Amino acid sequence: MRRIYDSRALERSEDDPFVPNAADESGSRTVDWAAFSHAFVPTAMRTRAISVTVSTDRDRYAPGDGVEIAVEFRNPLPVPIRLRTDSPNVWRWAVDGHDAASTIPRGVPERPSTFSFARGERKRFNRRWPQRLQIDDGEWETVGPGTYTIEAGVTRDDAADRGLTDRTTIEIR
């Protein structure tokens, strides 16, 4: 029986493209499909592909009842999608325009990031709003009866224009 070391099986030639080289030692030849689709799928199509849905467990609440908020982002395409965002916090929620139910600006760095979705992926997030707005560090104010708009979306300046936000209204009485 001939040993493999005595044969020419381990020789590599730089001229032959079908002979594995040192870079192929791991044996994996995978494609980063998220990067590929980001490079070749137009921005308009990427932003139209992602759907955003925000919902609450009820439409009407008694004062003091917690509001359960469910946010879902969905990529129905058979290719991965990657969206650029304006912040490392890739999505946001707000009550009547107050991000995270707070009147205090959040200390999040203003640097771009990406929100990535695998093909057909759904991302679900839940938040609970205790019917209060933060007005100062450690100080919260209970909201009164009325109608409130809860909004969620991707953290981009053009999110509303590109359909990357959704909103629902609730009533407290």
pLDDT digits (tens, 9 = 90+) for 127-149: 999 999 999 988 999 999 999 99
Residue 21 CA to residue 111 CA, distance in Å, equals 39
Spatial contact of 91 and 115, defined as CB atoms under 8 Å apart = yes
Predicted confidence at residue 27, as pLDDT, reads: 54
pTM of the model: 0.77
Mean pLDDT value across the chain: 86
Q: What is the mean pLDDT of residues 116-126?
A: 95
Kindly tell me the number of DSSP H helices and DSSP E strands found in the chain: 2, 12
pLDDT at 150 over 80: yes
Percent of the chain with pLDDT over 70: 83
Predicted confidence at residue 83, as pLDDT, reads: 92
Question: Which pLDDT band, with edges at 50, 70 and 90, does 17 fall under?
Answer: low
Q: What is the mean pLDDT of residues 83-101?
A: 94
Predicted confidence at residue 163, as pLDDT, reads: 95
Closest CA to 125 of 55, 51, 48: 55
Spatial contact of 164 and 153, defined as CB atoms under 8 Å apart = yes
Residue 66 CA to residue 92 CA, distance in Å, equals 19
pLDDT at 35 over 90: no
Q: Which two tokens stand for residue 56?
A: 């609450």
Q: How far is CA 161 from CA 53, 71, 165, in A?
A: 16, 19, 9
pLDDT at 59 over 80: yes
For residue 140, give the 3-state DSSP assignment: strand
Residue 66 CA to residue 97 CA, distance in Å, equals 19
Predicted confidence at residue 43, as pLDDT, reads: 81
Predicted confidence at residue 72, as pLDDT, reads: 98
